[in-house]
Structure 1
Amino acid sequence: MDNFSFCTPTRYVFGHEAECKAATLCHEAGWKHVMIVYGGQSAIRSGLLDRVRKSLGDTGITVTELGGVKPNPTDDKVYDGIALGREAGVDALLAVGGGSVIDTAKAIAAGILYEGDFWDFYCGKSTVEKVLPLGVILTIPAAGSEGSGNSVITRLDGLRKLSLRTDTELRPKFACLNPELTYTLPPYQTASGIADMMVHIMERYFTLTEGVEVTDRLCEGLLKAIIAEAPKVMAEPENYDARANIMWSGTLAHNGICGCGRREDWASHFIEHELSALYNVTHGAGLAVITPAWMSYVGERRPAKVAQFARRVFDVTENDDSKAAMEGIRLLREFFHSIGLPVSMKELGIENPDIEKLVGKLHENKGPKIGGYLSLEAKDTEAIFNLAR
């Protein structure tokens, strides 16, 4: 096990009517003027936005609003939010939504106090030092951004989809998680969220670091729990306990605990980011396509951990590592199919992917080599894209 430092300062308020605690938490933090960041019409139609707006007003907090954040969030909305926040004089942000909304709010929180272009943080030109605080009311369990210090934004000029990672600076001060707010999610969105959180775990699981049995078992236990609860959620959208288990899994998948003391991989995410940047596909669905393809490629070359995954997560009994690995990948694809997800680019609606462009953008953005479990160059990532066709 490697040395590590782990801090998760986010306060989680979980359960029935958790969202009702947000105004009190903002007030206790001393926030005076909060920007609510939200996505489309669902927060309005459900009445959630009205309830949040009213509760903040009742505690004497001034509210400014920024709506219209879209999936695969883009830099234009961040620039709008920075300008709006500066003009209004906000001192905190409250993200009401899923990963796209939270990631946008994080970018705004970093950008308002920065004299340069917020994109400097994402392309590595500058480091985040000062941010406005933010809280979260989670409505879509998937990205885990409610508990992480990370954010992913696409720059429209050149369609560069890049991630920003901080240790504690961009971790929300609090996150309110009410599983009932997820009852009305469309099945495809629910399934895509499940894939996203599973791959967050797997990016940490596939490692060359030895002596990490505790975090191995954390990863495997979470994956087995998600696989068990997912069919219940898909069949019974208002099954509170199933929704609760999926929601909490999404947070634990990405708050960093599964990666303590081990080198992580992240190749599947980097590869998928190019797919969703170019073709605007749902991120989780893209991961359901790319991750098994990545596993097939690395499983042929370094099968041990993939075989362990197969045996411990899908109960594969095959003794030969290579055969066990391939059986585990088959079962993973079968699981994704069972909850309504695609497992190929064709099923994703991409009939003729521009693989040359995808590979070129990937290595332009991430350098000549990616991946911690198996180092991948352009010829390797090209092969993975082709396996995903």
Structure 2
Amino acid sequence: MVNFEFLVPTKVVFGKDTESEAGRLVKEYGGTKALIHWGGDYVRTTGLLDRVEKGLAEAGVEYVELDGVVPNPRLSLVKEGVELARKEGVDFVLAIGGGSAIDSSKAIAYGLTNDFELEDLFLGKVATDRIAPLAAISTLAGTGSETSNSTVINIDTLDGPMLKRSYNHECARPLFAIMNPELTYSLPAFQTAAPGADIMMHTMERYFTTVEHTELIDAMAEGLMRTVRTAVPEALANPGDYAARSNLLWAGSLSHNGLTGTGNVGDFACHAIEHEIGAMFDVAHGAGLTAIWSAWARYVLHTKPERFAQFGVNVFGVENDFDDPVATGLRGIEAWDDWCHKIGLPTTLTELGIDPTPEQMREMAEGAVEARGGNLGGFCHLEASDVVAILEAAR
């Protein structure tokens, strides 16, 4: 186990009707005028927005609205939000939604407090530890952005290709996160399955490590993954299953708040590769991850086959061939593919509905390596040529 620091200051308010607490909490944390930021009709048509705004008004907190967030959130909307918030004298940002709305809100909060170009933050040209107060009301179980330090934004410019980039800093953890599993009942099946796979992947990116003696965190990660493996099909079969939805919503936060990465060195190559796929083809993040993971897994399997064997046995219950960890590891990868197909997700680029050209593959490979500063992959270091081979194998 390696040295680590772990701090998650976000106050989690979990359970039924907890969205009614939003106004009180914003006021408790010093907010006097909030920017409410979301995307899609759900927030308004279900009455959620009305309930939140009623709570803000009762707490004496003024507010302005900004709709328009889309999957793979755009920097152009972030800039619009910064301009609106400054014009209106906003001192608090309140996200309603999943990872896209929360990440867009985090970027707005960065923009409110800093005077650099936001592109430069996500391109690694500047850094900051300053952000405006923000909080989140989760309506989707997946990214864990409601308690994570990560912000992922698509840089959409007129003079170049869209780039999907992240900035990670502890200041970006929301002050509070409201998590009511009932708000996830009406999600379409795909918006349950793909984020569910993202929960798994956030855990797997940390789980596949070459660090030894991580037994405690392994057990916690494996328990989380087993729970998600079961809960996603249960929620798909019965969208109103409060227990399944609760497990998924809480697992989403625990998978990406840093807990399952304590004491080890994770990988995150698949996330870097998917960011390039998402930027180029605008696909759903979770589905992009499942489309490439097994190709990555087979490519790096021999780095530490015992790790893949442990994953297959302890998470998916495959038969353990004690004398052949490679064979056991391959069964685990196959079990992952089977699970993805059962919940309606792709395990190849073809199934994802894209067919990148060799030139596009090279561009994505070079972008993934560049985005990680030339240091792609903690479990197995990858060069651009390796990423191209993985993308070829994922077709």
TM-score tier by shorter-chain length is over 0.9
Partner of 1:222: 224
Partner of 1:273: 275
Q: How does 1:126-141 map to 2 (within 5 A)?
A: 126-141=126-141
Count of aligned positions: 388
Greater shift in the superposed pair: 115-124 or 253-262: 115-124
Of 237, 256, 259, which aligns to 1:257? Answer: 259
Q: Output one character per residue of 1:283-323: Cα deviation in whole Å (capped at 9) or x when no partner.
A: 00111111111111111443121111112111222221111
Partner of 2:162: 159
Distance in 2 (CA, whole Å) between partners of 1:78 and 1:93 is 12
What SS does the corresponding residue of 2:94 show, helix, strand or coil?
A: strand
Partner of 2:26: 26
Query: Would you say the 8 A contact 2:362–2:384 is kept in 1?
Result: no
Q: How does 1:157-306 map to 2 (within 5 A)?
A: 157=157, 158-167=161-170, 169-306=171-308
What SS does the corresponding residue of 1:298 show, helix, strand or coil?
A: helix
Distance in 1 (CA, whole Å) between partners of 2:225 and 2:104 is 28
Q: Output one character per residue of 1:23-43: Cα deviation in whole Å (capped at 9) or x when no partner.
A: 111111121011101111111
Partner of 1:377: 383
AA in 1 matched with 2:164: K
Distance in 2 (CA, whole Å) between partners of 1:245 and 1:293 is 29
AA in 2 matched with 1:328: G
Q: Which stretches in structure 2 are left out of the alignment for 5+ residues?
A: none
Partner of 1:327: 331
Distance in 1 (CA, whole Å) between partners of 2:126 and 2:339 is 41
AA in 2 matched with 1:347: E
Query: Would you say the 8 A contact 1:304–1:321 is kept in 2?
Result: yes
Partner of 1:12: 12
Matched, 1:35 2:35: yes
Q: Which stretches in structure 1 are left out of the alignment for 5+ residues?
A: none
Distance in 2 (CA, whole Å) between partners of 1:375 and 1:126 is 26
Partner of 2:363: 357
Matched, 1:347 2:351: yes
Query: Would you say the 8 A contact 1:36–1:95 is kept in 2?
Result: yes
Query: Would you say the 8 A contact 1:288–1:342 is kept in 2?
Result: yes
Query: Would you say the 8 A contact 1:160–1:365 is kept in 2?
Result: no
Distance in 1 (CA, whole Å) between partners of 2:59 and 2:371 is 45
Q: Output one character per residue of 1:131-157: Cα deviation in whole Å (capped at 9) or x when no partner.
A: 111111100111000010111001113
What SS does the corresponding residue of 1:94 show, helix, strand or coil?
A: strand
Q: Aligned Cα RMSD in Å?
A: 1.1
Distance in 2 (CA, whole Å) between partners of 1:170 and 1:216 is 27
Query: Would you say the 8 A contact 1:355–1:382 is kept in 2?
Result: yes
Q: How does 1:54-65 map to 2 (within 5 A)?
A: 54-65=54-65
Of 372, 385, 392, which aligns to 1:386? Answer: 392
AA in 2 matched with 1:291: W
What SS does the corresponding residue of 1:65 show, helix, strand or coil?
A: strand
Distance in 2 (CA, whole Å) between partners of 1:26 and 1:376 is 44
TM-score normalized by structure 2?
0.96
Q: What's the CA shift for 1:112?
A: 0.9
Partner of 1:336: 340
Q: What's the CA shift for 1:352?
A: 4.2
Q: What's the CA shift for 1:356?
A: 2.3
Distance in 1 (CA, whole Å) between partners of 2:119 and 2:213 is 38
Distance in 2 (CA, whole Å) between partners of 1:22 and 1:276 is 32
Greater shift in the superposed pair: 364-373 or 253-262: 364-373
Percent of aligned pairs sharing the same letter: 42
Distance in 2 (CA, whole Å) between partners of 1:340 and 1:364 is 32
Distance in 2 (CA, whole Å) between partners of 1:355 and 1:123 is 21
Query: Would you say the 8 A contact 1:369–1:378 is kept in 2?
Result: no
